[in-house]
Homo-oligomer: A and B are copies of this chain.
Amino acid sequence: MPAANARFCPPPAMPHRAAAPAGARKAATHLVDAFDRRILELYRQNTRLAADAIGEAVGLSATAVQRRLKRMREHGVIRAEVALVSPAALGLDTTCIVGVDLEREGPEALDRFRARMARCRQVTQCYYVTGASDFVLIVQVENMNAFVDFTREWLTPDENVLAFTTQVVMDRAPAG
């Protein structure tokens, strides 16, 4: 198997909080009907699709599709519209999955750790989980040296990090 690793660059990673105005998001409960679902199914995969084409596919006029998209954006059903960038093109050839064990697991310690990871550009996803570890991180770096640097800067110095286990990604499926 070729040394092809990560295929997609991480989702956009909530850039500056300014991009997500605090009050702008609603509960996003089931205010999506069958039409909305079909629109999302298409639009989710390709935001360059014209409302015209979507409308034809789902049996609605272009304007109706636009209105629904706008409503779903405002209601937080659509959280963001982003570009998936090839990590390789940016020189990020290595993906690691890191399980982190914390020493203390109080609410404030969890929040502190999560906030730290959110500030870290290498961490593209951060899950707080039950089970074997407390957190699971998806880390995107240039190479293994950069990964070691990452651990020395963000994990090892953290007194609350008891231990961590690393799995290096050899290949990744887009998973449709």
Contact = CB atoms under 8 A, between A and B. Distances in A.
Interface of A: 1, 7-16, 19, 28-32, 37, 40, 43-48, 72, 75-86, 88-91, 95, 97, 107, 110, 114, 117-121, 123-133, 136-137, 165-176
Contacts of A110: 1
A29 to B, nearest CB: 7
Contacts of A88: 28-29
Given A8-B11, A8-B79, A11-B8, A118 B176 contact: yes
A36 to B, nearest CB: 9
A45 B19 contact: yes
A130 B117 CA distance: 23
